[in-house]
Each structure stands twice: as C-alpha cells, then as structure tokens.
Structure 1
Amino acid sequence: MSRIPLLFRRAVLPALLCLALAGCSSGEADAPSAAHQDGAGSSTTSVSPDSPQGAEQTEGEVPGKDDSTARPVRVGIPSIGVNSTVMRLGLNGDGTVEVPPADKGMTVGWYTGNPAPGERGAAVLIGHNDTRFGKAVFHDLKKIAKGADITVHNDGGAELHFRVTGTETVSKKAFPTGKVYGATDERALRLITCDGAFDSQGHPVDNLIVYATRS
C-alpha cells in the first residue's frame, strides 16, 4: 500500500476502527455500501473521536516500517483454538480500513499501514467476531487470558511469539486510536474485533482490543 500523506492520515486514523468492524454481527443482510465494500454488510456512520497526538506521524513515514521485512502469513492462538492464514488489509476509497470479506470470516487480516508483527511499533490484526455466515475467526477472542501466547509465522520462515498483556472493550464512538495505532518502542501486537450489545441495525456497538508484546 502506498504511504498515506500526513493530513490524510490525520483525517482517517480516527475513523479506522469506528467504521471498519461494523459488519461483525451475524444478522446483517444489507447490501455492501461505499464505506463497507467487503460484503459483510452496511457500515455504521458514527461520530469519530479527534485524532490523538500519539497517532500522528511524520509525512511519508510509518514507524518500524521496512519494505524488506517479512510479512505475516499465519497466526495461531492455541488457548482459544485460532489457527488462521493472514490476508493484507489497506484502506477503502473513502478512508475506512478494509476488513476481511464476510465469506472469509475465518481469516485474520493485517493492516499494512502499520508495522508488520515483529517490527518495532504496533502491528494490527483485525478479524470478525461473526458474519452473516456464522461464527468467525475471533468469535472467542473475549476468552483470551493475560499471558496467553499468540504465534505469528511470516513469509521469511520465522515463528514469532507474543504474550497478551491485557484486553479492553471500548465504544466504537470512543475508539483509542492513538493507543492502538500510535508509535511505540515496543514490538507490539494488537488484535481487534467487534464486541458488546447490538444497535438498532444489528451491529455491535463496541470493539474488543487485545494488547500483546513480543515474548
């Protein structure tokens, strides 16, 4: 994915996860919209928070990004039975982050605008909880415990291990963009899915975030 200019990045970062995972409910039946082109249903247009300073980056620069670095191809979480290939995710034309298509609900996606797992910075993996096809790859993510192992295999042949340091459930209207996407000196990993009650359109109102660091 081409690098995002700073002004554009400031505009889209707050919206990334507020809109990206709106199609996680199993009951959605709406046709894909311009803001949700993955076939998982219509998007939720909620008010986004202001961009935290922690999410701002120098123009043309992504912390920890190195085009020669190996990319993730598989992720495993033995404690909750996850074993998935990894697809690449960028941005939709309207600035919302891509999510895996609904018919690939059992596949985890890596947001390529942030570092790859194992690089210095926050790598972000996104997966559905449910889709209209049923339970999805991160359906049981809420059961993950502190200290659990997350294993990422990359296309360089490496097996990287991350240890869960905590979890957080947040409203999509108050998503902590800087905390999740912002620069960090750690080799960190974030897992994100939908969570919580459903709104009047059948979309979950919260996101579940799992924080982990390289072990």
Structure 2
Amino acid sequence: MKAKQVPLVLAAALLAVLATLAVVLSGPRETGQAAPPASAERTEVPVAPSDEPQAEPAAGMAKADPVSIDVPKIDAKSSLIPLGLNADNTIEVPPVTQPLQAGWYVHGPTPGEVGPSVILGHVDGNKQKGIFFRLKELAPGDKVSVARKDGTTAEFAVTKVERVAKDKFPTDAVYGDTTEPELRLITCGGVFDKASRNYLDNIIVFARLIAR
C-alpha cells in the first residue's frame, strides 16, 4: 500500500501547526532543550556503517489502528489518540494541556503498513515535561514498539534522528511514499523563542519495521 501524499496546502500549513507542539508557559530552562549549532540549522545523526549482512526489507502488516507506543530508552509510554486535520487543513496535535499524550496521523498508513506512519507528541506543555521530552536522545538502533488494535505489535528500529529548522521542514522525507513500513516520531526542539512562545526547530526520528 502506498502512503497517502500530504496535500500541497498541508505542506504550507505544516510549519505553523508543528509550532503548537510546544506552546508552554515556561522558558527554555524548564524544557532542557539545547541551542542549535551556530553554523547549521539542521543536525543529523546518520546510521553507522556495518559489516553485518543487511536484513531484507520487512513486508507490510495489515491495516490496524495503533493503540499505544513504547520507547524504552527514553521511558516514553502513551496511549495513542487519532489526529486528523483542522478546518484550515492544518494537522491536529494532542492537547497541550495533556503533554504526556501522543497521537497518530490518521491520513497516513497505520504503523506496520508499507509507507511512513507518523506519531506526534509534545516536548513539554502546561509547565510539565512532554511525552517526547527526551526524543532527541534516541540514536540509530534504538527500539520503538507500537501496539495495534488487532492484537499485534509493530517493532521498529531507529535509523536516524534529525533536528530541523521549522522553516525547512522536510515534508517529502516525512510524508512521502516509502517501499517498506517506516515510522516518524515528531516533536519540537532547539531554542525556545520567548516572543512567539514556540520552539524554532523540530526533532524528527526516522525508524523502520524490524519485527511484528
């Protein structure tokens, strides 16, 4: 199954919506986010080369809504609520008053299907740490589990982690078609701008299905 393309109007609106992932009442001291490098807006952690034989691409799982996510390395566990589009075609986000709640984007593949499934969560909110407060700590090889409504669990391994300026959000890389089941985890990061009360960057984790 091919991933559904993000509508063109959504690409333009995406930057503004992702900014709402970190509308908080506190400054960067409470968030623990680091400033971006002075010479770059984008920081990428690539997959380390390996001499071990590469596994065959995982076949896709049947469609099944996700019910929860577990990221052991950063102690992030949450049920998953469906996130669609707002009236202005921007992507919904979990309530900022419930920063420990994650959600999945319903107009893409469900986790485990061929294509990129997307899960969003806050870095913080309401003067509390969010479900993805430590998302930037993930590295290639770290595991992510998504339990599904059909009783199965999709197991993913991180392939790379990026910090990207919001005005350079890689819409195609996040939402574009892929040939195997993949996962994207998205939150805010980088510098907290007190004037706009938003973070300037996004943290994006890319992962691929390794077991089911």
TM-score by length of 2: 0.76
RMSD: 2.0
Q: For the Cα contact (< 8 Å) 2:115–2:179, is it kept in 1?
A: yes
Q: Which residue is equivalent to 2:9?
A: 11
Q: Which residue identity lines up with residue 91 of structure 1 in the other structure? A: L
CA drift of 1:125 comes to: 0.3
Matched residue type, 2:162: E
What are structure 1's unaligned runs of at least 5 residues?
29-65
Where in structure 2 are there 5+ consecutive unaligned residues?
A: 27-60
Deviation, 1:167, is 0.4
Superposed displacement of residue 25, structure 1: 4.3
The farther-off stretch of 165-174 and 18-27 is: 18-27
Tell me the CA shift for residue 144 of structure 1.
1.0
Is the 1:189–1:213 contact (alpha carbons within 8 Å) kept by the matching residues of 2? yes
**For 1:1-215, what aligned pairs fall within 5 Å after superposition?**
9-16=7-14, 18-23=15-20, 24-27=22-25, 69-199=63-193, 200-215=195-210
Deviation of 1:146 after TM superposition, in Å, equals 1.2
2:13 and 2:164 mapped to 1: Cα distance? 14
How many aligned residue pairs are there? 172
- After TM superposition, give the deviation of residue 71 of structure 1 in Å: 0.5
Runs of 4+ residues over 6 Å off in structure 1: none
Q: Distance in 2 between matches of 1:162 and 1:203?
A: 30
- The 3-state SS of whatever aligns with 1:99 is coil
Aligned to 2:37: none
Q: TM-score, normalised by structure 1?
A: 0.75
1 CA distance for matches of 2:181 and 2:12? Answer: 22
Code of the aligned partner of 2:9:
A
2-side partners of 1:20 and 1:86: how far apart?
19
Contact 1:180 1:190 in 2 (8 A): yes
Work out the CA distance in 1 between the residues paired with 2:162 and 2:12.
Answer: 17
SS in 2 for 1:103: coil
Equivalent position amino acid for 2:192 in 1:
F
Q: Secondary structure of 2:7's partner?
A: helix
Write out per-residue CA displacement over residues 146-165 of structure 1, whole angstroms, 9 at most, x where no aligned residue: 10000000000001100000
* 1: CA distance, partners of 2:200 / 2:81: 25
Q: Distance in 1 between matches of 2:72 and 2:10?
A: 34
Deviation at 1:198, TM superposition (A): 1.9
Whole-Å separation in 2 of the counterparts to 1:21 and 1:138: 14
Instruction: Find the aligned partners of 1:117 and 1:93 in 2 and give their Cα distance.
Output: 25
